[in-house]
Amino acid sequence: MATVAIIHAAEDALPARALAEKLRQAKLTVVLEKQPGDELRGAVKDAKVTVALWSPRSVGQQPLVDDAVFARGKSKLVHAVMQNAAPPSQFSNDASVNLTGWRGEDDFAAWRDLAKLVTDKAGVAPLPPPAPRGPSPFFTPGIVNPQAEAEAAARHSGRPSNGPMSAQPGVTPRQPQQPQAAQRSQQPQQRPQQAQQPRPAAAAPPPRQAPPPRQAAPAPQSSEPKKGGGAGLMIGIAAVVVLGLAGGGYYFYSQSQTADSTSAAWESVAQNDADELRAFISGDPGEYRDEAESALAALEERSFEAASDSDTIDALEAFLNEFPDSEHAITARGRIAELQTLEPATETPPEGQLPPESTLPDPDLVPPNATAPDAGPPSLTPPPEPTVAEEPEPLPTN
């Protein structure tokens, strides 16, 4: 299985993890969170592709820049930038992918470009195309229903519409408009017929229709079409209303989709993993921000209580590594200093006292005439002083 190494700053661990999760969808083994130097360079040597993740925090760290220069000769190097950061000057002529604004969407154009670069260089199958988004269940902007438009215009003008649902008892439906020349040719024929026919009863005003001001009785209905631009104005008003409803429906639909995705992301977060909680809060938690921050604070208190109950240097240091900015950090560091002073030191026997028997060598294994290692230097005995020979007494002479 092909391996991909990610060079990133320690402060960018969360976005590096998110990038690694997306790359694992292409059946790639991703290595990240390695210390700059030998550890990171060892991962680069074993990787087919190396992704250098540049951010405003990593471009100024010279060890990371040196490791990226090393990766250029040992692996296939790909540059990805965040927050519109510029790669270091050593890579100014290299191509890079700008992931600024990416929040993990599969159809984000820059992410698709980076995924294709990595899979091609690693020699694995590319990621499948993103699933198309379904059509909106709300109105489609720009499409107007003629029947609804006519009914809206009729309600505004106080006249019944030409639709099949608009006929009222005792009211003559409005005839469809005809060309002006045809109207003039038909007017002499229509007027005698209208004179012979009994005048229909006055139509009752439509519901919620206030009478015009300063008018005692409604004006008689006329079968002749009204001339002028009033119908065009009504059509424009109806179109604005329909477009407004369509835009509002799309807004509420997008809001509901965002809320559903945020809820699913929150349900997938492990409540006992501080890194996952921080990654969720740093993203777009929406209405779950307070709940996530409360869960992180509760996890911090539980971790500190567990470390205090253990009362060991390892437990307290593990707490500091997980919560370096905790309000209990000073207390934990003070306790670590106390425990370090209480560690027993290696005792040495007083001068002139033999070490315990367990440290003495086995006498059966000591060669003859050997000096014990802890017995000290052998005592030196000075040689005896030479004695002066006494001269014989002279013999007496006669």
SS3 235: helix
Q: Note the pLDDT of residue 63.
A: 94
List the structure tokens of 397: 């002479």
Asked whether 176 and 204 are in contact (CB, 8 A), the reply is no
> d(Cα 95, Cα 311) in Å, to the nearest integer?
52
Q: Does 80 have pLDDT greater than 90?
A: yes
> d(Cα 381, Cα 359) in Å, to the nearest integer?
30
Q: Note the pLDDT of residue 209.
A: 53
Confidence of residue 91 (pLDDT cuts 50, 70, 90): very high
Q: Note the pLDDT of residue 153.
A: 73
Average pLDDT over residues 123-148: 67
Supply the mean pLDDT for the chain: 74
**Sheet containing strand 49-54, strands side by side:** 29-31, 3-7, 49-54, 76-81, 96-98
Of 323, 296, 292, 188, give the one whose Cα is nearest residue 315: 323
Number of H helices, E strands in the chain: 11, 5
- Mutual angle of helices 109-122 and 13-24, in 10-degree steps: 60
CA dihedral 267, 268, 272, 274 (to 10 degrees): -110
SS3 4: strand
> d(Cα 8, Cα 112) in Å, to the nearest integer?
20
Of 318, 309, 261, 265, give the one whose Cα is nearest residue 291: 265
**Residue 151 to residues 15, 144, 247, 367, Cα–Cα distance (Å):** 55, 12, 21, 121
SS3 19: helix
Q: Note the pLDDT of residue 348.
A: 57
> d(Cα 290, Cα 281) in Å, to the nearest integer?
9
Q: What is the CA angle 297-300-303, rounded to 5?
A: 155
Q: How many CA atoms lie within 13 A of 23 on its CB side?
A: 30
Q: Does domain 3-122 have CATH number 3.90.1150.10?
A: no
> d(Cα 311, Cα 326) in Å, to the nearest integer?
17
Better pLDDT: 218 or 155: 155
Q: Note the pLDDT of residue 292.
A: 85
Q: Note the pLDDT of residue 365.
A: 52
Tokens 């040597």, residue located:
45
Residue ranges of domains in the chain: 3-122, 274-341
Better pLDDT: 37 or 157: 37
Asked whether 84 and 100 are in contact (CB, 8 A), the reply is yes
Query: How many CB atoms are located within 10 Å of the residue 277 CB?
Result: 22
Q: Does 168 have pLDDT greater than 50?
A: no
The per-residue pLDDT for range 302-323, each reduced to its tens digit, is 998 998 898 899 998 998 888 8
Better pLDDT: 127 or 283: 127
The per-residue pLDDT for range 366-397, each reduced to its tens digit, is 556 555 555 555 555 666 665 555 556 666 66
Tokens 């405003």, residue located:
56
- Which run of H or E residues covers position 98? strand 96-98
In this prediction the pTM is 0.37
